[in-house]
Each structure stands twice: as C-alpha cells, then as structure tokens.
Chains A and B, each alone.
Chain A
Amino acid sequence: MADNTFYNEILTEHNMRPLYKHKLPEANFTLEGINPNCGDDIILNLKIEDGKIVKGSFEGSGCAISQASVDMMLDLVIGKSKEEALRIADLFLRMIKGEADEKEIEELDEASILKDISHMPARVKCAVLGWHTMKEIFEKHDAGEK
C-alpha cells in the first residue's frame, strides 16, 4: 500500500489557502509549466532584481501536490539569490529522486513532506512542476531574455 503521509495539514493548507497564488503585475519573468498527464497547469511569476528573487507568485490549477509544492517552493526562495534558489531546487529534485539524505532534507522545511513522492513515479511530475519551471526561468534570465 502506498504511504500517503504527505496528505497532511501542511499540504492541504498550502493547497486550500496558498500564500502565493495571485497575479504579479510587477513580475519581469513569467513562464507556464504544464504536466499533461495530470492536467496540472501553472504560471510562475518572478520578479528578479540584481540576481535576487524579490517577489514571486503562481497562477493556474492542478492537483494538490503540484499546487502545494510550488507554494512551498516560493516560500523557500523569495528573498534569496538566484544561485541559492537554484541550490535549493537541486536539493529538492534530488530528494524527489530519493538521493538526498535526512540532514539535507531538513533544510527544505515544509517542502520535505514530499520526500515520499520518490516512491510514487506517477506523482513525481506533479511535485517537480513548479521547480522545473523556476529553473527554466533562470535559464532565460541567464540568456538575457525576458
């Protein structure tokens, strides 16, 4: 039987009452991420200034895991430098692959509740959608695009 301990208050709270689900007119980077299997569809908005994530939000719809994951991600990366956000993202992605150790995972705070997704291949794409979208934004940022 699958272990679904991540359907807990932290996840349902981020899903029902997300902190960062709103429009962000001042964003200078906006990118859509789609997971066709699930039908998850999010738009990630970031305001990046001097290599720092000043503000962030998301819009769209999807399963609780995709929604909560992106909300928890924004909670972790807003106020951080792009490099630091990238390091956290890589740590999260390693956790989802089952490659991060307990101590590293602690650093992910609430997002660590998704660690059991590593045993659920069908849900991996939901959990990583926001994180991959953020990494793509950074690539565009580095390439000087908007």
Chain B
Amino acid sequence: MKNFNFKYSDNDIRKDFPLISQTGLAYLDNAATSQKPYSVLEAVKNYYEKENANPMRGLYDLSIRATEAYEKARKMAAEFINSPETHNIIFTRNASESLNLVAYSYGMEFIKEGDEILVSITEHHSNLLPWQYVAKKKGAVLRFLECESDGNISLETFKKAITKNTKIVAITHISNVLGRKNPIKEFTKEAHAAGAVVVLDGAQSVPHIKIDVKDLDIDFLAFSGHKMLAPMGIGALYGKSELLEKMPPFLYGGEMIESVNRDFAVFAQVPHKFEAGTVNAGGAVGLTAAIEYINKIGFDEIEARELYLTKTVFDECKDEEHVHIVGSQKPEEHHGIITFTVDDVHPHDIAQILSSENIAVRAGHHCAQPLINHLGMMSAARASLAFYNTRDEVLRFCEALKGLRKKMGYGR
C-alpha cells in the first residue's frame, strides 16, 4: 500500500502517548476509550497546579482564570464541530449524559401521547434506553429503522419510517459495532420536512472524522471527550439555540440560576442553565488540549492512517475462511471499527487469548444488544483502531487471529 503518504511517522505520534509507547500492548479498543497524549495530561496537571478555583463564582483573579480556561474549552469545542455560537455547547460527563439531557429535558417536555420517536437498530444503548423511557412515560411510540446485513440504512428505508407523527429521530453517526456511517445530512432533510428534530450520537464520529453541525443541520449532537484523547468525565452536547432556549433545565442546583426565591427561580442563560453544580474544569482544559492535538495532526491524516490500518486487517484476513468481519466488506465503510467472529471460538475466549498475547480487543454485545440480535449473533469481538496504532500492531493482531483456532484445539 504505497499510495499512503503520511505527514507523520509512527514514532512522531507514538512518542506523545506514554501508555502505548512504554508498553508492548497493542491497544485496539479505541472505540471504548482512547489513550491520552502527554499534552492532555500536562494541561490537566497545569490547571490543577496553577489555575484551580471554582469557575464562575469567585471575584478573585484565580477564579477568573479558571473561568477563562473553562470557557476557552467551550469555544474550542464549538469551533471543532463548526457550531454557529459558543453557547451552543453544553458540557456534560460524556455522550450518554448528553443524550439523557436531551431525552429528559426536550423529550419529557415536548413529546406527547401518540408521537413517534424513531431510532435505528444500530444504536448504542445510550441512544436507545433514554428514548425507551420517554416513550413509555409519555405514551409515545418507539419505532426502529432496520439496517441491512452490511449495516446500510438507505434513504428509502428512512423515508418509509418517517411519518407525520415522528417528532424525534435519534440516530448514530457511526455505529460502534459496524463502523458504518449514516447519511445524516440527507436523513436530517427528511426529518425536518416531517417536523422532527434530529439527535445525533457522535461518540464514534467526532474523534475520527470532521464534523460540521451547520452543514449537517442536525438539532443535537452528543459526544464524549474520553474517546477523543481527553480525560474521562468530560463530554458535550451541541444544541441549536432556539431548542436549548425553550428546554427546561435537566439538573437543578448551583450556578444555573439568575435568581432564586422561596418558591420559584429564574434560570441562567444557555448554556449555564444546563450546567448545575461545580463543573469539570480540569476535564474541559484536557479537552482543549485534546482538540489542539487533533487539529495539529489533522483529520486528513487521521482518516488516512485509520483507513490504511483497516485495509491491512481486511487484506490479511481475506483468505481466512474461519474469520468473519461483520458488516460491510469494504474497509472504507468501517471507520476503523472491525467487529468479527472466528468459527467455533467464543468472542470472550478470543479476547482472553489475544490478551495473553498483549493485544487488547473488546468482546461481548458492545452495548448494542438489539443490533447483535438483529444480525443473528449472541456476541462478537471487536478491534477498533486509532491513528496512533501501527501496521506492526495490526499485523500482530492478524497473526494472533490466525492462530486462535489451533490454540483452542481445532486443526486449523
């Protein structure tokens, strides 16, 4: 594969990641969480050493600096996804909390009996269970967009599933099992024409491809910091201003008010209305550093490296009759996510044996049980790649895969 010309060498990148550069571990579970570069770790340390105070409260210099550091992260996150304004970004713990915020605040307020909520069968439980709850509580109907065996959800399928009663479309951008990207811009056009809002789960897309919320025209976008080099515990929700303004708060408490009386309160402006209690400023500062790191590498480079690694796995496995890659057979439709099975070897045994060879992959239902059942499986193993993985690592993974059946006592 000589047609790949990378801007950075493997070592240029890997020297920035202590955990993977200092161990021999082939970390191939990036869809679960990413590793962190020194710049992120140092930014968090620096914040707590030099800037730590409770943001937005104190009148002294240190608190003002903490506030500035926190609000800088909001601006960075907004620009990163091309948000029209900085205040469209609400900080949360992770994508799950962002999706719950939309479900509890928007869903519970505006969904009525008989309304329809459309989700796809490929959703992570985080973008399914909140909607199951809203539908049950409000007497709404939860409908499913089914995917084909290669993970494709066609525009035709989408058009058929949308009705005049559809009020919410909650859908993933990139499936955490199949790696398949949905045509969100087209879906959103259809959803808006029917009067529905679109809630996009960007947990697997925001770290790997350039997102432009203005171009996609989606109403909400949820993503996690920890899957994109930032610390655990910081995530974000993007929402269109007119929606965020009419939504009630999700959590009530400190620093989300203008004024409080004995029996009523006036809430703060967006986004602070949705950020009750002391915020995760250290995490937000880490997110700033993570975005700076991703911007430095660039999405062209990230996508090219991840595609190259994915192609390597496909090439290595194409003649392996007992190894089956789930979903599309085209590497470019996987976005680094390769879910697979090996004949007669249970996914948990696969993961355990690979672990003994210092290779980390995930096994199980990947928090997407309805999809796994839809595909006729009980569970599967998953290797998910990041730009800092190397050809050597994926080759080591493929070699281990080829030896699995033998290890389990089968001829080959």
Chain A interface residues toward B at CB < 8 A: 1-4, 7, 9, 12-13, 15-16, 37-39, 41, 61-65, 120, 122-123, 126
A2 close to B409 (CB less than 8 A) = no
B59 to nearest A CB, angstroms? 48
B364 close to A64 (CB less than 8 A) = no
**A123 CA / B364 CA spacing, docked (Å):** 12
B235 to nearest A CB, angstroms? 25
B408 close to A65 (CB less than 8 A) = no
Among candidates A1, A3, A15, A41, residue contacting B358 with C-beta atoms closer than 8 Å: A1
Chain B residues, Cβ within 8 Å of A39: 347, 364-365, 378-379
Can you spell out 28 A-B residue pairs with CB atoms less than 8 angstroms apart? Answer: A3-B356, A4-B352, A4-B356, A7-B352, A7-B353, A7-B356, A7-B407, A7-B408, A12-B407, A12-B408, A12-B409, A15-B408, A16-B408, A16-B409, A37-B364, A38-B348, A38-B379, A39-B364, A39-B365, A61-B378, A63-B348, A63-B349, A64-B349, A64-B408, A65-B348, A122-B348, A123-B348, A126-B348
Among candidates B346, B358, B379, residue contacting A64 with C-beta atoms closer than 8 Å: B346
Chain A residues, Cβ within 8 Å of B8: none
* Residue B157 interfacial (CB < 8 Å): no
Chain B interface residues toward A at CB < 8 A: 344-349, 352-353, 355-356, 358, 364-365, 378-379, 407-410
B348 close to A1 (CB less than 8 A) = no
**A13 CA / B348 CA spacing, docked (Å):** 18
- The answer to whether A65 and B356 touch (CB under 8 A), given A12-B408, A15-B408, A37-B364, is no
Chain A residues, Cβ within 8 Å of B409: 9, 12-13, 15-16
A61 to nearest B CB, angstroms? 7
Among candidates B345, B346, B356, B408, residue contacting A38 with C-beta atoms closer than 8 Å: B346
Chain A residues, Cβ within 8 Å of B358: 1
Chain B residues, Cβ within 8 Å of A7: 349, 352-353, 356, 407-408
B410 close to A16 (CB less than 8 A) = yes
**A123 CA / B347 CA spacing, docked (Å):** 12
Of all chain B residues, the one with the shortest Cβ separation from A67 is B346
Of all chain A residues, the one with the shortest Cβ separation from B356 is A4
A20 to nearest B CB, angstroms? 18
- The answer to whether A4 and B346 touch (CB under 8 A), given A12-B408, A16-B409, A64-B408, is no
**A39 CA / B380 CA spacing, docked (Å):** 10
Chain B residues, Cβ within 8 Å of A122: 348
Of all chain A residues, the one with the shortest Cβ separation from B345 is A64
**A3 CA / B353 CA spacing, docked (Å):** 10
Chain B residues, Cβ within 8 Å of A63: 346-349
A-B residue pairs, 4 tightest by C-beta:
A12-B409, A39-B378, A63-B346, A4-B356
Chain A residues, Cβ within 8 Å of B410: 16
Q: Which of B349, B365, B409 lies at the interface centre, i.e. has the most chain A CB atoms within 10 A of its CB?
A: B349
Of all chain A residues, the one with the shortest Cβ separation from B379 is A39
Chain B residues, Cβ within 8 Å of A12: 407-409
